[in-house]
Amino acid sequence: MESLTAERRAAGRLLDDKEALACAITDRLYAERPALTERYGAVGREKCLQDLRYTLEHLIPAVDLGEPAMFAGYVRWLDELLRARGVATDEIARSLELTERVIRERLPAEEAGAVAPAIRAGLGALAAEGGR
């Protein structure tokens, strides 16, 4: 039997832990930026959590297939969508940075390393858009 690649293992772990990861990332973002609670309230926090679930759902196949550009495309679309709703690009970038940090804390190093290129591609897509 062939052993699973780090990408395949990481994708499976992200899928299994999606809810816990989304909650941890949301908690970190709101702890770091208390003004988000004032600005968006409880409804905004729930929307943030929902968006992070979606982000992880788009990250998983990009990691599984080893196609960081897939995730970068999603991040470009997300940035455009959220900017139209008054969410700054830097908030999206910070959530991706926290996503990488939480994943590095929770996944074995090899698996976390397999996730990093997709997250970096997403951050690169935001930077290429000029940090609007």
Residues 6+ apart with CB under 8 A from 96: 55, 75, 119, 122, 123, 126
Q: Which two tokens stand for residue 13?
A: 């772990």
| pTM reported for the whole predicted model | 0.92
CA distance 23 to 27: 6
3-class DSSP state of 34: coil
Domain spans, the chain: 6-128
CA 29 to chain centre: 12
- Is 80 exceeded by the pLDDT of residue 131? no
- Closest CA relative to residue 52, chosen from 32, 84, 30, 85: 30
10-62 pLDDT, tens per residue? 999 999 999 999 999 999 999 999 999 998 899 999 999 999 999 999 999 99
CATH 1.10.490.20 fits 6-128, yes or no: yes
- Is 90 exceeded by the pLDDT of residue 132? no
CB 11 within 8 A of CB 64: yes
